[in-house]
Amino acid sequence: MPTNITTIGGGTGTFNVLYGLKKNKDFNLAAIVSVSDSGGSTGEIRDQFGILPPGDIRRAIVALSEDTGIVRRLFEYRFKAGNRISGHTIGNLLLTALTDITGDFEKGIQELSEMFDVRGKVIPVTLDDTQLGIILEDGTQIIGETNIDIPKHDANLEICDAFLVGG
């Protein structure tokens, strides 16, 4: 009988865990993925198209895809030139297009998962538009993952609380 395994997270750590777990065919995998990223290609797509950020979802789909050759490389390909598409990945743009075509972020994920032969299920942690927020030890409140990751504040201050804004 297969073992059910669910991961919760996003980014590189979740990608590596899923990629490793996928190799064991005795596992039924599900990934609950964060959707509160606000930087880079994901942040731009979020702002321009009003959809949930696709980046961490894209990475989970790549990790669980049975195709590890050219399809994976294509999915992760990031444009280096072109004013409007520079910095965007094909995968982020595909998920954005599928969300627009289907009218639904979850349906876009399902369609993309089928296209890339994903073994397992990729589930956004929420379908609400949320931003990550923190409160620092001096009481400063910071909203947005980008503002937390690339601090404009004293990076030596400890984080006292974390929360989601929006929804």
Per-residue pLDDT of the chain (167 residues; tens, 9 = 90+): 899 999 999 888 999 999 999 999 999 999 999 999 888 888 889 988 999 999 999 999 999 998 778 877 887 888 876 667 777 888 999 999 999 999 999 999 999 999 999 999 999 999 999 999 999 999 999 999 888 888 788 889 999 999 999 86
CA 1 to chain centre: 30
Q: Which of 112, 102, 117, 116 is nearest to 54 (CA)?
A: 112
3-state secondary structure at position 85? coil
Supply the pTM of this predicted model.
0.87
Architecture, CATH, for domain 3-124: 3-Layer(aba) Sandwich (3.40)
Sort strands 121-124 and 141-143 into parallel, antiparallel or unpaired: unpaired
Alpha-carbon gap, residue 47 to 107, rounded angstroms = 20
What residues does each domain of the chain span? 3-124, 130-166
Confirm if 61 and 116 have CB atoms less than 8 A apart: yes
Alpha helices (H) in the chain, listed in sequence order: 11-22, 40-49, 55-64, 70-76, 90-102, 105-115, 145-149
